C-alpha cells in the first residue's frame, strides 16, 4: 500500500537517488557504494522487472534479478507509515463492497440491487474510496 499511497501523494519522501545497474541476489540488493540504506529504511526500486515499488530494507525479500534503473532512498515519516496501515485496514474491511458496481439494500424481507452511478473518478462505483475517506490526512503530505 505504501507504493500506492506515495503515488497518490506524488511524494516519495526522497533522500537520495542512485542510478545504475543493480543486482539482487538471495533476496537482497547489492548496493553499488556499500550500504547506503539502513535496516528498516524504505526505498523505491524503479526499472526492475520484478521489484518495482517501495520496499523496506532488511525486511522485504526481493526477487533475484539484475536491472538497469534507480533506487531512491526514502525518509517516510512514521505518521505516513501509520496512515498506510490504516488505509490497508480500511481496504480489508470495505474494499469488496466499495469496488462493486452495484448497491443493494434489504429490509423487512424485501431486497433489491441496482447499478450505482458514476463517482466522478472514472468508475461505476458511487461509494467512498480510500482516497476520499482519508482525503484530509492525505492533503497534509500531498505534493502538487
Mean pLDDT lowest for which of 7-21, 58-72, 93-107? 93-107
pLDDT of residue 93 exceeding 80: yes
Q: Torsions phi, psi of 47, nearest 5? A: 95, 5
The whole-angstrom separation of Cα 86 and Cα 20 is 35
The whole-angstrom separation of Cα 47 and Cα 43 is 13
Higher pLDDT, 62 or 110: 62
Interval 38-49 mean pLDDT:
95
Q: CA triplet 41, 87, 56: central angle to 5 degrees?
A: 15
Residue 5 near residue 12, CB atoms below 8 Å: no
- Across 32-120, where does the E strand assignment appear? 42-46, 53-56, 65-74, 102-107, 110-115
Confidence bin at 119 (pLDDT 50/70/90): very low
Note the pLDDT of residue 120.
47
Closest CA to 144 of 53, 46, 8: 8
Interval 68-94 mean pLDDT:
95
Residue 57 near residue 30, CB atoms below 8 Å: no
What cell does 20 get? 545504475
Mean pLDDT in the chain? Answer: 85
**Rg (Cα) of the chain, in Å, rounded?**
20
Interval 81-87 mean pLDDT:
97
Amino acid at each position: 500500500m505504501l507504493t500506492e499511497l506515495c503515488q497518490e501523494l506524488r511524494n516519495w519522501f526522497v533522500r537520495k537517488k542512485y542510478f545504475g545497474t543493480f543486482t539482487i541476489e538471495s533476496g537482497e540488493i547489492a548496493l553499488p557504494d556499500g550500504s547506503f540504506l539502513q535496516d528498516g529504511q524504505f526505498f523505491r526500486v524503479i526499472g526492475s522487472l520484478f521489484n518495482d515499488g517501495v520496499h523496506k530494507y532488511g525486511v522485504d525479500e526481493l526477487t533475484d534479478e539484475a536491472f538497469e534503473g534507480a533506487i531512491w532512498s526514502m525518509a517516510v515519516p512514521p505518521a505516513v507509515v501509520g496512515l498506510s496501515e490504516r488505509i490497508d485496514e480500511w481496504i480489508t474491511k470495505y474494499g469488496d463492497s466499495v469496488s462493486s458496481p452495484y448497491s443493494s439494500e434489504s429490509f423487512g424481507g424485501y431486497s433489491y440491487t441496482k447499478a450505482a452511478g458514476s463517482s466522478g473518478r472514472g468508475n461505476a462505483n458511487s461509494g467512498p474510496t480510500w482516497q476520499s475517506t482519508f482525503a484530509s490526512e492525505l492533503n497534509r503530505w500531498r505534493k502538487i
